[in-house]
Amino acid sequence: EVVMTQSPASLSVSPGERATLSCRASQSASTTLAWYQQKPGQPPRLLIYGASTRATGIPARFSGSGSETEFTLTISSLQSEDFAVYYCQQYNNWPWTFGQGTKVEIK
């Protein structure tokens, strides 16, 4: 199965600053890569699919890039509601697999 590795495990960022999250696949995922945001007590929410397409209603400060094995989620100017855990997921090969998550915390 494709192993997804996210880095860093946690990130401390001040509101208004930029956050860059990485996700690496153990084999090619093409651009079938999604990013999800999860806040405590809530189900995950789809942010980005196809590596770079924002899901419906997702603010433009969220952007995704990458292909094959290297992917990045960038939050251009962190807002208070963006502090959460972020997961990447490949859906190119069965089984679909998630990364272990990156927690974005307030600095």
Partner 1 sequence: EVQLVQSGAEVKKPGESLKISCEGSGYRISSFWIGWVRQMPGKGLEWMGIIYPGDSDTRYSPSFQGQVTISADKSISTAYLQWSSLKASDTAMYYCARGTTLDGFDIWGQGTMVTVSS
Q: Considering beta carbons, is residue 22 or 32 the nearer one to partner 1? A: 32
CA 4, CA 25: separation in Å to the nearest integer? 5
Question: 60 is written with which tokens?
Answer: 């433009």
CB 78 within 8 A of CB 18: yes
Of 56 and 80, which CB lies nearer to partner 1 in the complex structure? 56
Contact set for partner 1, span 21-50 (CB under 8 A)? 32, 34, 36, 38, 43-46, 49-50
CA 86, CA 40: separation in Å to the nearest integer? Answer: 12
Stretch that binds partner 1, among 11-19, 65-73, 74-82, 90-98 (CB under 8 A): 90-98
Residue 80 CB contacts under 8 Å (≥ 6 apart), including other chains: 15, 106
Task: Give the interface size with partner 1 as a residue count (CB under 8 A).
Answer: 25
Query: Minimum CB separation from partner 1 for residue 17, in Å?
Result: 25
